Every structure is written in structure tokens, then in C-alpha cells.
């Protein structure tokens, strides 16, 4: 998959199927839309093209309403490649881009430079300056080029439409199993391992403190997870919270990598959430805390072994 951070200087050679939007999380609704366009691209004999934005437009237009991201840009690009996208244009969203006229965006950029001839959009899609572009405008302009626009109503799950907002709410509420169903994969926090208080090491459970700015964080509690370090995955018991037994204040994401030894400070870590076990608790003393962590680790091993036995995890 090709990744460009600017539009091409000349129009693409072949007619393309084009999707545009933020695509945060690449949930099952996004996947269905892209599968439809993959078929359209094959019929056209050209590429499947995605136009996406970084940062999320609301960070510029209405910062107070800007959502925490489900995934990072690198994560988004990884999943787009897996879904058969041929070329992604990552456009830096700033005031200049926000001021682009809807007609210019559709006619000159999508249909012109990107040679777009097939589009799939949601029924409430808007684009361009002041969100003045809509389905009717895109359909009119695409028609001038002999193109077509499919209005995609999305995907339903448990009698409700799947959206990035719904995925974020599920994660924030600690419903990581539901989030995994909406994403078709476990939710993943991506960040860097930073130094903590080193208390875990003193009680026999050294943890990796994950710094993952900008992403939505699951509700405080204890989780079953798997952690990826330099391409190698390890089973992990995960704690999110303030460490009330130690009178902590700051919320931290800490992962105890089972059967792992090594120094990973400063290294990138991907943390996938498989199942929520319990709420965060305050224990009366250190032995009680250690006993509960020991039990949590045992449950983590059991849960992950069961999932692997059923082919749900590699």
C-alpha cells in the first residue's frame, strides 16, 4: 500500500474508487464500506483510494469537542493495508484545509487529481468549508465525470448502528469485549514504556507503564490482555487506575508481562485488551494485594489459554 502525505501533482492514471473520512478505529462499518469499494475498484480496473485526515478535524474546528482517538495514525494505516486499500492520502488537517470549498474538494481533488469514479459515503456525510458539501453535491459532481455515489447506511450490531463514537463509549465503559466485536479485533493502546514507581518489581510483579497520549483509555480496572514488544507478543495482566492501595492519584496503565524478562523502558508497546476481570480495589495491606494479583494472573493465563484452544487468539 502506498502512503502519501500530499495530493498528487498530476491526476492518477487509472479511475479509482474513493473513500474519504477519518476512519478512526476501522470498525466493522468501515470494513464493510471498504469491501464494497474494493469491488468497485476491481470493476473499474483501478486502485482503491482512501483520503484520511490527521489530526481529527474537530481538533481544529471545535477543540473542546475533539474525541480521544481509538487508534493512532500508524495503527489506522496498518489496518487499511490489511483491508486491501491500494493508496492512502493522509492530509494534514489545519485551517487552510478546513477552508477548502466543498466544490473544489469534490471536483478538483476527488474526481480530478484522484480520478475518483466510484464513491461510498454515509447518508449524513458532509465535507468542505462549513460542511456545505453533502451527498447531493458529491453525486452531482461525480455524475459530471461519469462517476457514481453509493449511500452506505452502515452496519447494525445488537440493533444499533456501529460508529466510532459507539466504539469509544464501549472502551470508556470498560466493555472491551463489545469493543472487540465492533472492531473485529481487540482494542489496542499503542505507546511507549515509561518509568513508574517500581513498586511492582518489589512485590514480584514488575509492570510496564504505558504512555499512550491521545487515545481513549478503558475504564479503571483489571484486564486480561496481550502485549506486543518489537513484534513479539506476551500474555499480560493489565491494571488501569490510581493504585488506591498506595494512595495514588494519577491514572496509569500498567501491564505485567507474564513469563517475560528484559528491559523495555523507552520501547514501543502495543497493548491489546481481551477481557475485563474486575474493578480496581483498595486492599488493607500488601499481602492482600499480592494475593489478589496472583489470582488475577492465574485467571489471565486461563482466559488466554481457553481463547487459544478455541482459535480466538494466535
Residue-level pLDDT at 84: 96
Residue-level pLDDT at 70: 98
Average pLDDT score over residue span 85-114? 97
Residue 260, CA distances (Å) to 14, 256, 294, 301 in order: 50, 9, 16, 14
Q: Are residues 11 and 148 in the same domain?
A: yes
176-183 vs 164-172: helix crossing angle, rounded to 10: 160
Residue 24 belongs to domain with CATH number: 3.40.50.620
- Tell which of 141, 157, 173 closes a domain: 157
Residue 276 inside a domain? The answer is yes
Nearest to 38 by CA among 146, 150, 135, 133: 150
User: Could you tell me the pLDDT band of residue 148, with boundaries at 50, 70 and 90?
Assistant: very high
Write out the three cell numbers for 60: 481544529
Average pLDDT score over residue span 38-60? 96
| 261, pLDDT greater than 90 | no
Q: Are residues 28 and 144 in the same domain?
A: yes
Q: Are residues 6 and 153 in the same domain?
A: yes
Q: Are residues 194 and 301 in the same domain?
A: yes
| 7, pLDDT greater than 70 | yes
User: Could you tell me the pLDDT band of residue 286, with boundaries at 50, 70 and 90?
Assistant: confident
Q: Are residues 264 and 147 in the same domain?
A: no
Residue-level pLDDT at 200: 65
Q: What is the mean pLDDT of the chain?
A: 94
Q: Are residues 142 and 199 in the same domain?
A: no
Residue 170 inside a domain? The answer is no
Residue-level pLDDT at 247: 67
Nearest to 105 by CA among 144, 47, 51, 56: 51
Residue 164 inside a domain? The answer is no
- The model's pLDDT over 200-259, given as tens digits with 9 standing for 90+, comes to 666 778 899 999 999 999 999 999 999 999 889 999 999 999 887 776 778 999 999 998
Residue-level pLDDT at 196: 74
Residue 25 inside a domain? The answer is yes
Residue 167 inside a domain? The answer is no
Domain count, the chain: 2
Residue-level pLDDT at 198: 63
Residue-level pLDDT at 44: 98
User: Could you tell me the pLDDT band of residue 174, with boundaries at 50, 70 and 90?
Assistant: very high
Residue-level pLDDT at 300: 98
Residue corresponding to grid cell 471536483: 107
Query: Which residue range forms the structural domain that includes residue 299?
Result: 187-309
Residue 135 inside a domain? The answer is yes
- The model's pTM is 0.93
Residue 314 inside a domain? The answer is no
User: Could you tell me the pLDDT band of residue 262, with boundaries at 50, 70 and 90?
Assistant: confident
- The model's pLDDT over 117-126, given as tens digits with 9 standing for 90+, comes to 999 999 889 9
Output b/e per residue, 38-56; b: 16+ Cβ within 10 A: bebbeebebbbbbbbbbbb
Residue 9 inside a domain? The answer is yes
Q: Are residues 132 and 230 in the same domain?
A: no
Q: Are residues 291 and 214 in the same domain?
A: yes
Determine the Cα–Cα distance for residues 132 and 141; give it in Å rounded to an integer: 14
| 146, pLDDT greater than 80 | yes
**% of the chain beyond a pLDDT of 70:** 98
Q: Are residues 145 and 9 in the same domain?
A: yes
> Burial, 310: exposed, middle or buried (Cβ in 10 Å; 0-12, 13-18, 19+)?
exposed
Q: Are residues 208 and 300 in the same domain?
A: yes
Residue-level pLDDT at 218: 98
Q: Are residues 134 and 219 in the same domain?
A: no
Write out the three cell numbers for 187: 482494542
Amino acid at each position: 500500500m502506498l502512503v502519501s502525505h500530499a495530493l498528487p501533482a498530476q491526476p492518477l492514471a487509472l479511475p479509482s474508487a474513493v473513500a474519504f473520512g477519518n476512519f478512526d478505529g476501522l470498525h466493522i462499518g468501515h470494513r464493510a464500506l471498504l469491501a464494497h469499494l474494493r469491488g468497485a475498484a476491481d470493476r473499474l480496473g483501478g486502485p482503491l483510494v482512501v483520503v484520511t485526515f490527521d489530526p481529527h478535524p474537530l481538533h481544529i474546528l471545535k477543540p473542546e469537542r475533539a474525541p480521544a482517538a481509538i487508534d493512532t495514525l500508524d495503527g489506522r494505516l496498518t489496518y487499511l493495508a490489511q483491508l486491501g486499500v491500494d493508496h492512502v492520502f493522509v492530509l494534514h488537517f489545519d485551517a487552510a484545509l478546513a477552508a477548502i470549498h466543498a466544490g473544489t474538494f469534490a471536483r478538483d481533488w476527488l474526481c480530478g487529481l484522484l480520478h475518483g469514479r466510484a464513491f461510498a459515503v454515509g447518508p449524513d456525510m458532509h465535507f468542505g468549508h462549513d460542511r456545505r458539501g453533502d451527498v447531493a453535491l458529491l453525486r452531482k459532481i461525480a455524475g459530471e465525470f461519469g462517476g457514481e455515489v453509493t449511500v452506505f447506511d452502515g452496519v447494525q450490531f445488537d440493533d444499533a448502528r456501529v460508529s466510532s463514537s459507539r466504539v469509544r463509549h464501549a472502551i470508556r465503559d470498560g466493555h472491551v469485549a463489545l469493543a472487540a466485536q465492533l472492531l473485529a479485533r481487540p482494542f489496542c493502546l499503542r505507546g511507549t514504556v515509561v518509568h513508574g514507581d517500581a513498586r511492582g518489581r518489589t512485590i514480584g510483579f514488575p509492570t510496564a507503564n504505558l504512555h499512550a497520549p491521545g487515545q481513549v483509555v478503558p475504564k479503571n480496572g483489571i484486564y486480561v490482555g496481550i502485549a506486543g514488544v518489537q513484534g513479539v507478543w506476551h500474555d499480560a495482566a493489565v491494571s488501569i487506575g490510581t493504585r488506591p492501595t498506595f494512595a495514588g492519584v494519577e491514572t496509569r496503565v500498567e501491564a505485567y508481562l507474564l513469563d517475560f524478562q528484559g528491559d523495555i523502558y523507552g520501547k514501543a508497546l502495543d497493548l491489546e485488551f481481551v477481557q475485563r476481570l474486575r474493578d480496581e480495589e483498595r486492599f488493607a495491606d500488601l499481602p492482600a494485594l499480592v494475593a489478589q494479583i496472583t489470582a488475577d494472573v492465574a485467571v489471565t493465563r486461563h482466559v488466554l489459554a481457553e481463547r487459544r484452544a478455541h482459535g480466538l487468539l494466535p
